[in-house]
Amino acid sequence: EMKQLGDAYIRSEFKLHKSATNAHHIDQFMSEWRNYLEHIQSTANEKKAGDAKFGRSLPLDVEKLDQEKQMTLAKLKDEA
């Protein structure tokens, strides 16, 4: 069930960014997905070794987000 949710989320993210034209945004998007892939692979390897630790805290520098993303974040916090 979690795999289906994750697969749907990833498909959605890539579809949303498929038409991106800003090279900086594309590079950032791909860099973050590469980091995520490395983390998942590392976690899977740790799980095989019996040392798996799932999840990690991510720093959030709200100031670095563009105006639209800051507004979206504020809206999500209000709804929570």
Is residue 61 very low, low, confident or very high in pLDDT (cuts 50, 70, 90)?
confident
pLDDT tens-digit map of 44-58: 777 776 665 656 666
- Contacts of residues 3-11 at CB distance under 8 Å and 24 or more positions apart, as own/partner, are none
Token pair, residue 40, equals 């998942």
**For residue 74, with 0-12 CB atoms within 10 Å meaning exposed, 13-18 middle and 19 or more buried, which class applies?**
exposed
| 2-17 helix and 23-49 helix, angle to the nearest 10 degrees | 160
* Residue listed under structure tokens 């900086």: 24
Percentage above 90 pLDDT, the chain: 6
Average confidence (pLDDT) over 50-71: 72
CA angle, 80 then 16 then 27, to 5°: 105
